Amino acid sequence: IEQIRSVIAADADNDIDSLFSSIMSELRFDVVSSSGQTYELIRDGSNIPITVENFKQYCKYYRQYRLNEFNRQIDFVRQGLHNIVPCYYLSLFTANELEEATCGKDRIDIELLQRNVCYGGCYSEESPPIQRFWKVLNEMFNEDQKKALLIFAWGRSTLPIRDEDFEMKFCISEFDIYDGEVDKTLPSKYI
């Protein structure tokens, strides 16, 4: 509020220097990192106020700091990744291809999922409840709802890329209802 009052009180000539000073009076050549620590952008930066004359220099150093803030952590991740997958193989992938190879397809391929389902109890691929399940999943669920179902039932939001990549099948089986109280039973995931 004090800064707003000082801006309003600025002279009628709109003196840019006083206007700038009133707004930027708190800033110095330092920055608070993502971890909450304060770092000087230049030597003795915590004692150098931001002015109209040095504002572009401040912006340059600030941007440079933010762009490089996580370089050390990124280098460690890169080293770990290169220990698993050699660098020359990674260069063959685009970012999207690498994400799909490691995380699976972003779009839920219902046909792929259907080929990798195991049915338990009295259920089979031809069972009417199973046919309705696939119809509803295919026709009525949007992508976010399909992902939510996978997370609930399977603990993952994406599918592997190929049939061979399924280490564990998606299982649909009957659920024993205790004491016949169907309407008092909540859905349960397969474990």
Cα angle 123, 125, 126 (rounded to 5 degrees) comes to: 90
Domains, the chain: 2-68 (no CATH), 71-101 (no CATH), 104-184 (3.30.2410.10)
pLDDT at 137: 92
pTM of this structure? 0.50
What are the average pLDDT values for consecutive 10-residue runs of the chain, which has 191 residues? 54 62 80 91 91 88 92 94 88 88 83 90 90 93 92 85 85 71 63 46
d(CA 31, CA 164): 50
pLDDT at 187: 62
pLDDT at 22: 72
